[in-house]
Amino acid sequence: MSLWVDQFRPRTLDTLHYHRGLSERLKSLASSGDFPHMLFYGPSGAGKKTRVSCTLRQLFGPGVEKLKIDQRVFLTPSKRKIEVNLVQSNYHIEITPSEAGNHDRLVIQDLLKEIAQTQQVDLGAKQRFKVVIINEADSLSRDAQAALRRTMEKYMSNMRIILCANSTSRLIAPIKSRCLLMRVAAPSSEEMNNVLAYVARRAGFDLPPEASDKIVEDSGGNMRKAILVLEALKMQSPDLTGPLTIAKPDWEVYCHKVADLIISEQSPARVMEVRAKLYELLSHCIPPTIILKTIAERVVDKVDEALKADIMHWAAFYEVRMRVGSKKIFHLEAWVVKVMSLYKHFFYNIDMSEFD
């Protein structure tokens, strides 16, 4: 039994519930005969992958939904084996090169070259090219992005590339200039309520407006999270009435505890305690940027108004350094120490001013 988020996922552009103008534009592009490279960007849970899959169906027909999962092994120059999972049909292939870490350039070069040099084998296909979907494109290294740019130029006749990213800020300008940019914004509260009501009807129950509003407020524009929460609440309380408690993920609660530790005491011993908890989060595969963002938001909620801008400034500063560097823990710890320093100096100055 599949989750509702997959079971009730729209299959065609006509059945998408929001951003109708974007859907019409994609239909027009799919039928124009001159389909470009594309870059879908927007916040997590806004529906980028759903729109990409609907666009593929518009391009190639229902055969694009016959998927198989494959695992490819790539050999680095040092003879190390890198395994990458692929999802593919006869018409497209979906990859996440960032799974290969620093060797993502190797995946881009080898795999895309191989796909681009093979002709479309299905003679009945509507299009003569194959589509390559690259997830988490904004996590690609600079070398991988440079390799991708060259491939996009060289093999345009046999291949189209669709990139999915949360932000365009980490993509190099030559890639952005070679793609048609499609911004998939987070749905509004009203649109999210409409989708939740639709999912509830398909699942065979009526969703109370109070419960829908609470789910929408908790989800923060993330449609995928909203549907998952709806299904979880339905399992807990079938009638969805009374006080509903939406459980936070364990990692988020843990991040909030780390933020509270930073605020409650500023000392070398506390830095070591926080470092141990950061290692714990990283060892459970929570992305370092998500850790930094979640802790920073919690700290900002707890501190004085005069400190909020500085804390977010340094969070952005260390996030950039974290993307460039390799040891994520160094930059997370440096931010923690900086916040402790700012917090301690702020209250020291307040205490001293009382004696003036």
Question: 13 by DSSP, 3-state: which?
Answer: helix
DSSP track, 125-171: -S-SSEEEEETTGGGS-HHHHHHHHHHHHHTTTTEEEEEEES-STTS
Q: Residue type for 234, please?
A: K
124-135 tens-digit pLDDT: 556 778 888 988
Determine contact, residues 38/162, Cβ cutoff 8 Å.
yes
Answer yes or no: do 221 and 158 share one domain: no
- Say if residue 37 is in the same domain as residue 126: yes
Are 195 and 131 part of one and the same domain? no
232 and 299 both lie in a single domain = no
Helix (H, G, I), strand (E, B) or coil at 92: strand
Q: Kindly state the helix (H) or strand (E) to which residue 81 belongs, with its residue range.
A: strand 81-88
Backbone angles phi, psi at 136, to 5 degrees: 55, 45
Residue 169, in any domain of the structure = yes
| Tens digits of residue pLDDT in 224-281 | 888 888 888 888 777 777 667 777 788 888 899 999 999 888 888 999 999 999 998 8
CA 137 and chain centroid, separation = 10
Whole-angstrom distance, CA of residue 19 vs CA of residue 48: 11
The domain in which residue 214 lies consists of 189-236
* Residue 151 vs residues 41, 113, 167: alpha-carbon distances, Å: 21, 7, 22
The CATH number given to whatever domain includes residue 265 is 1.20.272.10
How many whole angstroms separate alpha carbon 82 and alpha carbon 270? 38
166 and 205 housed in the same domain: no
What is the per-residue pLDDT across 49-71, written as a single tens digit (0 to 9) for each? 999 899 888 888 888 888 888 88
Quote the pLDDT of residue 119: 59
Residue 230 lies in a domain: yes
d(CA 217, CA 320) in angstroms, rounded, equals 30
**Does some domain include residue 245?**
no
Q: Which residues of the chain have pLDDT under 50?
A: 123, 352-356
pLDDT score recorded for residue 352: 46
Neighbours of 3 (CB within 10 A): 13
For residue 275, the model assigns a pLDDT of: 92
* Dist. CA 56–CA 70, nearest whole Å: 19
Considering 142, 165, 183, which residue would you say is the last residue of a domain?
Answer: 183
262 and 127 in a common domain: no
Q: Are residue 170 and residue 136 in the same domain, yes or no?
A: yes
pLDDT at 272: 92
User: Contact at 8 Å (CB) between 49 and 164?
Assistant: yes
Which pLDDT does position 273 carry in this prediction?
Answer: 92
Query: Does some domain include residue 242?
Result: no
Helix 268-283 to helix 328-353 angle (10° resolution) is 150
Same domain membership, residue 110 and residue 23: yes
One domain, residues 178 and 327: no
